[in-house]
């Protein structure tokens, strides 16, 4: 029932709109224009100072025509770098960029699917419960949009977040929480050739701390990594400062706390051993969530997949998304695959079939056909 030609045209239009993180203004305006044209109620919040974006999150409401539990549909408007000047190319049913930018299917495939589903409902006068939509800013730089969105505006208690790789039908039922580590070891400066014993090498202290950390794959649910270790001193100076940036993730909040504590303990122990000081520490980015297959909303989404002609498959993710923040705020959120592939690279691609299947799935969900 979806208009396949219009869906493809809309997607191609959307990916041509520059919207790297914090620069989503033109994309927000286009979404608002498209949905206002079919009679949706549009609201743009004023969270710019909190997110750093030039615009706010875009909210849309399509009032229900039949009784039923409202649903929230969501996708994010921003793309990673390089995302300026995208020129989509279609070859053998696959859409890519010309090779010098990302495509932006992450996450404009989700945006286009939501917009097409709402257009189809309105133009065909399909019965539906209330449908809410939220298009987030700054998802790619710490889920800032969903972190600061106006949850009081949302009445739905269940949400489908269109923002995963994998074919349409993939359902993410569990995802990790995350701690970000941003710390600095403060040692004591000295001449490395004349009086090195008077100094405390921040690099030596930090190196020992990191060497003692359990990193990478901790267990099936938990990972940890150090992404940056930096200091900048001449070789004849005992370095007085060294900085480290890292993370810990786990689908178990208990394991996340344990891994975060372990990493901090390694830093503190090394500092105490050498007499150095420690600045900074851990910041909670988002919390984990997990929904069982037997959950009524999971079953609803699986049924909607079958209604749309795609086979549902359940999976756990190693990454976070806006669904993490929504679950934290009492909205049962699942992340759905849209077919995006090789995301965050200039080889990013998506098939036209996955675009169509995703829109059909969103339509089934929006009409309460799960």
Residue 230 parent element (H or E)? strand 222-230
Rounded to the nearest integer, the mean pLDDT of the chain is: 97
Res 369 pLDDT > 90: no
What DSSP assignment string belongs to 43-74?
EE---HHHH--SS--EEEEE--SS----EEEE
For the question of residue 139 being annotated catalytic, the response is yes
13 — alpha (psi -120 to 50), left (phi > 0) or beta? alpha
Residue in the structure block whose two tokens are 């539990």:
69
Question: What's the pLDDT band for 182 if we cut at 50, 70, 90?
Answer: very high
For the question of residue 78 being annotated catalytic, the response is yes
Task: Indicate which residue of 139, 300, 322, 349 is catalytic.
Answer: 139
Which tokens sit at 50?
Answer: 């909190």
Closest CA to 73 of 28, 3, 19, 136: 136
Q: What share of the chain is helix, strand, coil (3-state, %, to 5)?
A: 35, 30, 35
Cβ–Cβ < 8 Å for 160, 97 = no
pLDDT at 329: 97
| pLDDT tens for each residue of 317-364 | 999 999 999 999 999 999 999 999 999 999 999 999 999 999 999 999
Mean pLDDT value across residues 194-199? 98
Res 297 pLDDT > 90: yes
Domain extents in the chain: 4-175+288-366, 186-286
Res 148 pLDDT > 90: yes
Mean pLDDT value across residues 306-311? 97
What SS3 class is residue 323?
A: helix
Mean pLDDT value across residues 115-121? 98
Closest CA to 240 of 197, 276, 194, 281: 276
Select 4-175+288-366's CATH number: 3.40.630.10, 3.40.50.11710, 2.40.110.10, 3.40.50.2300.
3.40.630.10
Res 265 pLDDT > 80: yes
Residue 202 parent element (H or E)? helix 202-211
* Side-chain half-sphere exposure of 203, counting CA atoms within 13 A: 10
| pLDDT tens for each residue of 228-256 | 999 999 999 999 999 999 999 999 999 99
pLDDT above 90 coverage of the chain, percent: 99
The top-level CATH class assigned to 186-286 is alpha beta
What DSSP assignment string belongs to 129-172?
--EEEEEES-GGGTSHHHHHS-GGG---SEEEEEEEES-TTEEE
Question: What's the pLDDT band for 140 if we cut at 50, 70, 90?
Answer: very high
Q: Length of the chain in residues, anyone?
A: 370
Task: Indicate which residue of 78, 116, 163, 167 is catalytic.
Answer: 78
Question: What's the pLDDT band for 63 if we cut at 50, 70, 90?
Answer: very high
Which tokens sit at 207?
Answer: 């190196």
Mean pLDDT value across residues 62-75? 97
| Phi (first) and psi of residue 336, to 5 degrees | -115, 140
Res 94 pLDDT > 80: yes
User: What are the residues whose beta carbons fall under 8 Å from the beta carbon of 45, sequence distance 6 or more?
Assistant: 56, 57, 59, 149, 150, 153
Cβ–Cβ < 8 Å for 175, 225 = no
pLDDT at 370: 72
pLDDT above 70 coverage of the chain, percent: 100
Question: What's the pLDDT band for 113 if we cut at 50, 70, 90?
Answer: very high
């Amino acid at each position: 029932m979806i208009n396949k030609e219009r869906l493809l045209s809309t997607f191609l239009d959307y990916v041509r709109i520059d919207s790297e993180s914090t620069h989503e203004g033109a994309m927000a305006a286009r979404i608002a224009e498209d949905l206002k044209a079919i009679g949706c109620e549009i609201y743009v919040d004023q969270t710019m100072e909190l997110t750093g974006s030039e615009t706010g999150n875009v909210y849309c409401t399509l009032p229900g025509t039949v009784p039923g539990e409202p649903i929230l549909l969501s996708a994010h408007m921003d793309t990673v770098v390089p995302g300026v000047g995208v020129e989509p190319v279609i070859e053998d049913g696959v859409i890519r960029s010309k090779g010098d930018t990302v495509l932006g299917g992450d996450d404009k495939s989700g945006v286009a699917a939501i917009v097409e589903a709402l257009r189809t409902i309105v133009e065909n006068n399909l019965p539906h419960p209330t449908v809410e939509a939220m298009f987030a800013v700054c998802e790619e730089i710490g889920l800032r949009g969903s972190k600061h969105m106006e949850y009081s505006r949302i009445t739905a208690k269940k949400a489908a977040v269109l923002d995963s790789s994998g074919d349409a039908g993939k359902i993410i039922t569990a995802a990790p929480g995350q701690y970000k580590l941003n710390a600095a070891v403060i040692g004591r400066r000295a001449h490395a050739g004349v009086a090195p014993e008077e100094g405390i090498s921040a690099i030596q202290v930090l190196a020992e701390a990191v060497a003692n950390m359990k990193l990478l794959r901790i267990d099936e649910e938990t990972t940890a990594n150090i992404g940056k270790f930096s200091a900048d001193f001449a070789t004849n100076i005992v370095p007085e400062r060294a900085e480290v940036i890292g993370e810990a993730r786990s689908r178990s909040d208990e394991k996340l706390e344990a891994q975060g504590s372990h990493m901090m303990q390694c830093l503190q122990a090394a500092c105490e051993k050498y007499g150095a000081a420690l600045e900074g520490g851990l910041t909670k980015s988002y919390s984990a969530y997990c929904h069982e297959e037997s959950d009524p909303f999971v079953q609803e989404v699986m049924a909607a997949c079958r209604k749309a002609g795609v086979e549902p498959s359940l999976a756990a993710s190693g990454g976070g998304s806006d669904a993490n923040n929504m679950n934290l705020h009492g909205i049962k959120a699942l992340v759905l695959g849209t077919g995006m592939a090789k995301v965050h690279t200039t080889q990013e691609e998506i098939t036209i079939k996955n675009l169509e299947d995703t829109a059909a799935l969103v339509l089934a969900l929006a009409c309460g056909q799960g």
